[in-house]
Amino acid sequence: MSADVVIAGAGPNGLMLACELSLAGVQPIVLERLPARTTENRANGLVGQVVRMLDRRGLYGRLGGGSEPPRPVPAFVFGALPLDLSTLDDNPLYVLQTPQLRIEQVLEERAVELGVEIRRGHELTGLSQDAEEVVADVAGPDGPYRLRARYLVGADGGRSVIRKLAGIGFPGVTRDSTVSRTASVTVPPELVDPATGGLNVPGHGFVPPFMHHRTERGLFVFAPFPGRSTLVTTMEWEPGAAEDDGRPPLTLEELRESVRRVLGADLPLGPDTGPGPHLMRRLAGGNTRLADRFRDGRVLLAGDAAHVHSAIGGPGLNLGLQDVVNLGWKLAAEIRGWAPPGLLDGYEAERRPAAERVVMHTQAQSALIAPGEEVTALRRLFTELLGDRNVVRHIAGTMAGADVRYDMGAGDAHPLVGRWAPDLSLDTGDGAGPVRLAELTADARPLLLDLTGDASLAGEAAGWDGRVKAVAARLLDPAVTNAPDAPDARDGSAGSRGSGGSGDPDDGGPGEVTALLLRPDCYVAWASSSPRPDSAEREALRAALARWFGAPVTVDA
Ligand SMILES: Cc1cc2nc3c(=O)[nH]c(=O)nc-3n(C[C@H](O)[C@H](O)[C@H](O)COP(=O)(O)OP(=O)(O)OC[C@H]3O[C@@H](n4cnc5c(N)ncnc54)[C@H](O)[C@@H]3O)c2cc1C
């Protein structure tokens, strides 16, 4: 066996998976067909719960988030309609404006720190598998060779070769009538409103920054990123546009003409004078597709290899990076031999509904930005609905992926169970001052947090010593409220339970929590609010430990 796990693709999702596996004690080999990191940027930022997830791995600051914990944004945009999040006391929408190139750089550095072997210029070209192993054919710089592994993960993007070689279908729809044009540009400084950073376009009017600005003829976005190039994007609807792939590369003049059509006014765009790379991108058409399986025997798919959709609202890495955080520890448990039955299949059971919700909200947003009077009417109705805080909360929770509630089985009576663990400020008794939960989860280990005050629960994890970390602490901020729950995210919610409703603001919330069992992906597997958890609760805790972290090891008396 050459490796326990081979990952095809050193994009953000492949690299993050490599980090997660490594933290869980399994060293993968990452194959990347490109000889060097790409210089063409795609994502301009991370949107949603993934920002907090990266904080829980100690990566938020490294990705440019600063030294303070992440804070939700006061405003965002849904289908080119403004979302006022400032009135939500439980706002779930976090944004980190870090370009994908930087995300890939940071994740690669982290993977290398953790000892991961990344082979650049090595392309996976074929695979076969049996009950014991996967054999990957690789074309490397020194010629072809074979790798044998227990598992292979295709994190090789939307056109995934692994998905095709494994015979996994990719059903969905292709939209062929849109053309988006994006370039890094300069705009005359006198057109920029110093108070808002927006653009005053003579003959058209004011365009706010970072907002999708819809007109009857298309979409316009002005994105003056601080410290890096300003991006201007247009989107137009041109029937059959995707078929015309013989066009020469995008020019500034073509973008200017597109802006003229969309805004009905001239905007004197100049070339980017920054250090580069200078973006000039035309994308015609787009796909919304979901793999019909995320797993075929010893082959798994993650990230864009498993799902593609419109980039509107920036949901791609929120979905993909949380896929791999869900997958990493389960795959490592399988390899290390303690995975309970069905744990690895839980990856698809939990993440497919999340992907389906991203498909749903990106398609809904695409419908809301299209031209046409009917769409304008639909937008008016949506604007009325967005006057209701509960609607805003629901949409924000959907975009953030914060409405996920996983099915944790019998022991999920507590409102926090199945949900993303709330941020907590703790005193761990070592005199070091307040400790954030995020500091305890950076090692990606299962965590039993005993907040009873007498550390009486921590001993329950003794049989899982080495797998589960037990920490006794005092809660410094007892007003525990969980990440918000969209009020009616119950039917068809991202959570596979499909019902429940606890965590709903109307349920009054979980109150003071006295113990939590967290999976490595920071979802709550068991929780208590009893000052002294009784024997039935302790039994439920042991059942949750066994359900997620395998059979206990016998402890000598
Ligand atoms: C224009 C645009 C804007 C976007 N904006 C945002 C945004 O603002 N926010 C956001 O979250 N998301 C955004 N996205 C989506 C985001 O870029 C993707 O979700 C993300 O790149 C997916 O990461 P990945 O690791 O799954 O795949 P990729 O990034 O595609 O990486 C796959 C890697 O696999 C390698 N590979 C392919 N085949 C093989 C092979 N056979 N062997 C070895 N290696 C192979 C490729 O070279 C590549 O490096 C945007 C996408 C686009 C196109």
Q: Over pLDDT 90: what percentage of the chain?
A: 85
Q: Tell me, what's the pLDDT at 456?
A: 87
Return per-residue pLDDT of the chain as tens, 557 residues. Answer: 789 999 999 999 999 999 999 999 999 999 999 999 999 899 999 999 999 999 999 999 999 999 999 999 999 999 999 999 999 999 999 999 999 999 999 999 999 999 999 999 999 999 999 999 999 999 999 999 999 999 999 999 999 999 999 999 999 999 889 999 999 999 999 999 999 999 999 999 999 999 999 999 999 999 999 989 999 999 999 887 777 667 899 999 999 999 999 999 999 999 999 888 899 999 999 999 999 999 999 999 999 999 999 999 999 999 999 999 999 999 999 999 999 999 999 999 999 999 999 999 999 999 999 999 999 999 999 999 999 999 999 999 999 999 999 999 866 689 999 999 999 999 999 888 899 999 999 999 999 999 999 998 989 999 998 899 999 999 997 655 444 443 333 344 444 333 233 334 334 345 689 999 999 999 999 999 999 999 999 999 999 999 999 999 975 55
Is 101 in contact with 418 (CB distance < 8 Å)?
Answer: no
Is 382 in contact with 81 (CB distance < 8 Å)?
Answer: yes
Q: Is the CB of 311 under 6 A from ligand 1?
A: yes
Closest ligand 1 atom number to CA of residue 283: 1
In angstroms, the CA 466 to CA 554 distance is 13
In angstroms, the CA 295 to CA 212 distance is 36
Q: Tell me, what's the pLDDT at 239?
A: 83
Beta strands (DSSP E) in 248-293 are 270-271, 280-290
Q: Is the CB of 155 under 6 A from ligand 1?
A: yes
What's the 183 CA to ligand 1 centre distance in angstroms? 19
Question: Tokens for 112?
Answer: 């290398």
Closest ligand 1 atom number to CA of residue 315: 11
CB within 8 Å of 456: residues ≥ 6 apart: 450, 532
CB within 8 Å of 107: residues ≥ 6 apart: 12, 15, 16, 19, 59
Q: Tell me, what's the pLDDT at 500?
A: 31
Q: Is the CB of 154 under 6 A from ligand 1?
A: no
In angstroms, the CA 213 to CA 529 distance is 47
Q: Tell me, what's the pLDDT at 209?
A: 96
Model pLDDT for residues 413-468, shown as the tens digit of each residue:
899 999 999 999 999 998 888 999 999 999 999 999 999 999 989 899 999 988 99
What's the 208 CA to ligand 1 centre distance in angstroms? 28
Q: What is the DSSP letter of 421?
A: P
In angstroms, the CA 63 to CA 73 distance is 17
Three-state SS across 487-523? CCCCCCCCCCCCCCCCCCHHHCCCCCCCEEEECCCCE
CA dihedral 435, 441, 442, 443 (to 10 degrees): 130
Closest ligand 1 atom number to CA of residue 318: 11
Q: Tell me whether the omega of the peptide bond preceding residue 188 falls within 30 degrees of 0, making it cis.
A: no
Q: Tell me, what's the pLDDT at 53?
A: 98
Q: Is the CB of 44 under 6 A from ligand 1?
A: yes
Which mutation among 38, 304, 322 tests ligand 1's pocket best, with the greatest number of atoms within 8 A of CB? Answer: 304
Q: Tell me, what's the pLDDT at 555?
A: 56
What's the 32 CA to ligand 1 centre distance in angstroms? 12
Q: Phi and psi of 197, rounded to 5°?
A: 80, 0
